[in-house]
Chains A and B, each alone.
Chain A
Amino acid sequence: MARLAIRCLVYSGDKFIFKSPYLNDGLVIIEGQNGTGKSTFSDLLYFGIGGDVSFFKKSSREKHKEITNDTNNFVELSIEIDDVPFKLKRFIGSNDISVFSADCMIGIFPIFRSKETKDIFSDWILEKLNIKSFELYAKGEKGKINFTDLYRLIYHDQSKGTEIYKDHDGNGYISDSIEFRKAIFEVLVGKLYSDFYSENSKLKQLIKRLDLTKESVEIFNNAISRIYQSEDWNIAKIDEELKLNHDQLHKLIVKKDVLRNQGVPKSGQVVLENLRSELNSLQIKMMNEKEKINSTYIEMRELQELKRTVILEVIQIKKIIFSHETLGLFSPDTCPVCLNHIKREKGCCICGSNVQEEKYQHFFYDVKQYNSILKSKQRNVETISDGIKNCDSEINALKSTFERLEEESKRLEDKLTERVFDKTSFTDLSSISEVDNLIFELKLKIHNLEKQLSLENERQKHEDEISNYEDELRSQRVIVEKLQIKAKEDIQSTLEKFGDKYSELLKDTIKNCRRARLSDDYMPVINNGDYIEASAIVPKRMMYFLTLLYLSLIDSQINFPKFLLIDTPDNAGIDDDSLKKSIAKITEIIEINPSVKSQVILTTGINIYPAEMKEHVVLRLTHSSRLLKEVNSQQ
């Protein structure tokens, strides 16, 4: 399965800046005194891949002031997935990540899912890591496994409690449930669990669809039986009734023809005039409808042209953003007259007078503003498309009306012609009128029967749908059961390897550990659950993460992405020697299979690691050389 590696982290703002050195494979150590930015490094990395960091929010009680007071600030991560490079860029305060390949921008992905979004950042990165995402159902609720969920077993943060998993970002009860945590472990470690959960999710959706269909069929049935209380007929019966009524209608029409041919004087002329007048007003209506159709066509053409130009603008703005990123010619600090770079003090205009920084009129746009304009134009395209669809619907409706009027007009013309040729004959109008009434009643009855037939056909369709869903459900249950058995069988051997290695690592790092195993929900049980000292929490947790890494190095089928981020594990009262012993295990694990590449980034106190690991230190932070550097001091 795919491998993730972080190559470089950049933080850039108007006030502070940081660029990490190149982060190679294997162990990478960032050491520093307390309060110099080690955890900030880990937080920035987590933020960059879509995580939620409360310290970066202005509304939080505990804030990272250098970051929350900074402006135009962003995090840029250079990563590799299976040696293919990508860049991820996320502005502070934004919930979108821009993703770039080596040549171009791949897209701007939101972090959170909504009704309008098709793909979010988590979908993109999971696809790249060859991990199938799926919906998990638990206690009647559902939630989708995201990358930040899996990251809870990749990022060993400074946890305050005794939990193995990193705290979850969301506030959803489902996303921190036992079922979810088990699924996270199974997806990372089990080769077949992704498939099982994926099929299981389809099964749940089928059950839901079946229940909904049954519900709507029941409502439908109740409605039909209320309308046709005494006539609960099936399709065959309705067909029979229709045939009878059509026969009766035919007989009445024949009778009417016979009566007309018998003749009546005088009233023929009045009828002719009425017919002519009716025809005239119908033709005027037709003209009006035609005009409406034409003007709606014009409107639609204009909207189509507008859509074309807005889509072209969207493409052009993407090219503008690319040019800005690559050439870096113009920025908000470019002189609008000679286009040179201005060294302008904050709070001052280029002419020298004092001005409020937020109100300073720039003549140029930065990437954040371009992205905002791009999104706005993309929304415009959708709005225009909706407008075009509405025009289309309107045209169809107008055409139907026009066709109906045309038919009516033809009918009247025929009638008129017939009358003109027949105006000398005499007909019995009152008898004809009686027959006309009977014909009208019969037509109404036929119309109601046809409606009832249509509803019955609809009911039959729903019943057939239910039957199909039930068949599909039966097959899907078999698939899910088979996959569950296979997945359980497959993970058994992996769990044994996990247990053995974890036990071995713990015995080396916790002095009174005799035995370690995993419970049914994959949580460690040491010495059959007896109490162990608080400082043992650190190795208990760290060895768990290292064992996951170990499994991915000895079995290429495992989804765990051969990457760990370990942030300052020196808490919970663990002494330096015990901590160094735990940290020493990192290289032991990495070197288990030298042909397979992996990366572990460790932030720790100065020299709080075995001496032989000194060569892995890439960055040293002190109180005089902290992580975030002021921009002025860099220039």
Chain B
Amino acid sequence: MNNETIQEKVRKELMFITKEDHYFLTYNLIFLLLGLDCISQKKPFKDIKKITYLVDFIADYYFLSLLENIYTLNLKVTDIEKNIFSRIYSRGQNRTIFFMKIIYALEKKQFITLESDNGSLGINAWLNLHMLPSSFLDADIFLAEKQNIKILKILFPRIRTLSLSSLQNKVFQKCGVLTWQD
């Protein structure tokens, strides 16, 4: 390998961002749909774009614990916490387009099914369990994500059917973050 190729290799590795990796978003999406029982047309996950805002809470219990403090202990939101929620919201906004590409790729692979929601003009989705290997779905390595999704369900019982704007209101506006519609 010559020096230029080594530099390309090192540059590419330096450019890696975990939270923007295809597989990172893919496995969080799959386990959220599974955790909310969105496995058929009868129980779709409404407005799939909501997931870009939820990924950080599923992947890191620290952020989820901040939500728990606000909702279950009724603690006040500090300035530092407001900053954190603001960053999570911006990250969610910025990766929406990228996330939609992954959604379409998963639909092409038949891992999920998409349908338009005529009422809200959003896109609903559900998992096609039979297309996913059980060795992936049952793997212990994703125990943390599954636990976090259970906690999310307790904090927001209707998270599956909430619209995007309702979710933004409940999670971010309540914590003092300014939000805006697409």
Chain A residues close to B by CB (< 8 Å): 103-104, 308, 312-313, 315-320, 322-324, 326-327, 329-330, 337-340, 358-359, 361-362, 364-365, 369, 372-373, 376
Contacts and interface: CB of A to CB of B under 8 A. Distances in A.
Band of interface residues on B: 35 or more
Interface in B99-142: 101-102, 104-106, 108-109, 111, 132-133, 135-136, 138-142
B16 A365 contact: yes
Interface string B30-42: 0000000000000
A103 B135 contact: yes
A324 B133 CA distance: 12
B13 A320 contact: no
Contacts of A365: 12, 16, 21
Given A103-B139, A322-B141, A373-B16, A340 B108 contact: yes
Interface string B7-37: 0110011001010011110110000000000
Nearest to A313: B18
A358 B26 contact: no
Contacts of A322: 136, 139, 141
B104 A339 contact: yes
Contacts of B74: none
B108 A339 contact: yes
B1 interface: yes
Interface of B: 1-2, 4-5, 8-9, 12-13, 16, 18, 21-24, 26-27, 59-60, 62, 101-102, 104-106, 108-109, 111, 132-133, 135-136, 138-142, 144
B140 A103 contact: yes
18 contacts: A103-B138, A103-B139, A104-B140, A104-B141, A308-B62, A313-B18, A316-B18, A319-B142, A329-B22, A330-B22, A338-B105, A339-B102, A340-B108, A359-B5, A359-B8, A369-B9, A369-B13, A373-B16
Classify the secondary structure of A's interface with B: helix
Nearest to B132: A327
Q: What 10 A-B pairs come out closest when comparing CB atoms?
A: A339-B105, A358-B5, A323-B23, A326-B136, A320-B23, A323-B27, A313-B18, A330-B22, A316-B18, A373-B16
A308 B12 CA distance: 24
Contact of B23 (A104, A330, A358, A361): A330
Given A323-B136, A326-B136, A316 B8 contact: no
Given A103-B139, A313-B18, A365-B16, A323 B26 contact: yes
B60 to A, nearest CB: 6
Contacts of A316: 18, 24, 59
Contact of A326 (B2, B101, B135): B135
B144 to A, nearest CB: 8
A372 B13 contact: yes
A171 to B, nearest CB: 25
Nearest to B11: A361
A104 B138 CA distance: 11
B4 A359 contact: yes
A312 B144 CA distance: 11
A364 B22 contact: yes
Contacts of B9: 369
Contacts of B105: 329-330, 338-340
Contact of B139 (A104, A308, A312, A362): A104
A358 B140 contact: no
